[in-house]
Amino acid sequence: MSEPVKLLIIESGEDWRAWLRRHVEVVWHAAQFTELSPEQAARLPGEFGGADFDVVVLTLEANRALGLTWLREYAGRRGFPPVIAVGVEGDEALAVQAMRAGAQNYLPRERLRHDGLIAALREALAERRTRGAQPEAAGGAAVPVMKGWRLVRELHASALSRVSLACSEETGEQRVFKSFNMAGADVATGVLFDRFLREYQSIAGVDHANVVRIFDLGVADDHAWIAMEYLAGGTLASRISRGRLTPGEALTAVRELARGLAAVHAVGILHRDLKPANVMLREDGSLVLIDFGLAREMQGRAGMTSPGMIFGTPWYMSPEQGHGGAVDERSDCYSLGVMFYEMLTGSRPFSAPTPMALIYQHRNALRPQLPAELADFEPLVHRMMAANPADRFESVRHVLAALGE
């Protein structure tokens, strides 16, 4: 039997704590809860590491300054559980502050419902398992970053890579370092290391406002890393989790992402893993494409993602990619269409209990209708999401033209 889910809840109000317990226990019957007020949490010992908990739920309404201070103090510590911050709807400044302080997700209490809460908790639990599986570097130290940069905190970790935030000791500028543990990779075939290097090579030469900026690459005996810009606004996935976008916001988002994709496609690169989690926001709200770990050159160079191999995320994957077929720009266009649907409606167009069932739906199911008030967008969304590539826009530039560019 698996271990029960253990939650630390930091909230003053008993009614809210009871609501949270009820909804969690519907899914995790044996869940264990530890409940503290913000004042009690502030008095935790300095060495508190959170190892006894799987997820922390922290509310930031009654005493946001105290909650943010607590978040900055603990969330960046190695091994600390993911933190879900709960705050006020429409308070984008608070959301950004919470994400910058180390929260994995930010949820507005006014919009919080059972499905959204459980989805956020499942994501946090998956992140906790990933962090738990990450081996320590030699001597328990963090993977080194570029000389002259100081490690601030770890943002993400998996069995083979880490993403860390670092600060320039000279200027105070912040950058993200993605480190790859070559010792844990399949060095004999070079596949994983090749994928890491291709991520850098694919986008380092692309200078576009909607594509993440890559600054440098380093390689050592046992690890390699890339340095990229720090994007403080969180992911598009987190933004959607707080409620669907207005039609105007969704149109702006699709235009920005299409422009970024057009710049990437222009140098012969496909993204191949386009999804809200791989789109981040700058502080000014503009959208940025990240994580080109699955990118490949379209001109037929031998690569690790040849036809017959499936990479990507089934929720957003084109039918041809899901079935291991050859892909081109229209595959990224399909994924963008799925994201457009989700931004407009707040939900994904297809849902199924297994990845293969999702892949089947992308190819065979009818395209879902949009709500009546969004009917004007339906022809555009359906053409982007056409099951047959021949029925889609030929490229994202054609999508931009259809949007009035």
At 341, list the tokens: 């649907």
Hey, what are 325's tokens?
């077929």
d(CA 237, CA 221): 36
Structure tokens at 185: 């990779």
Beta-carbon contacts of residue 229 (< 8 Å; ≥ 6 apart): 175, 176, 212, 213, 215
Q: What is the DSSP letter of 235?
A: B
Distance, in Å, from the CA atom of 289 to the CA atom of 275, rounded to the nearest integer, reads 9
Active site residue 273: yes
CB atoms within 10 A of CB 222: 12
| SS3 category, 259 | helix
Q: Can you tell me the distance from the alpha carbon of 236 to that of 276, in angstroms, rounded to the nearest whole number?
A: 5
Q: What is the DSSP string of 167-220?
A: EETTT--EEEEEEEEGGGS-TTTTHHHHHHHHHHHHHTT---TTB--EEEEEE-
Distance CA 269, CA 162 (A): 24
Report the C-alpha dihedral over residues 70, 76, 77, 82, rounded to 10 degrees: 80
Radius of gyration of the chain (CA): 22
> Among 273, 291, 328, 391, which one carries the catalytic annotation?
273
Q: How far is CA 262 from CA 24, 258, 330, 361, in A?
A: 43, 6, 11, 27
d(CA 11, CA 19): 12
Please, what is the end-to-end C-alpha distance for the chain in angstroms? Answer: 56
For residue 33, what is the DSSP state? E
In the numeric block, which tokens belong to residue 198? 């291709």
- Tell me which residues are annotated as active site: 273
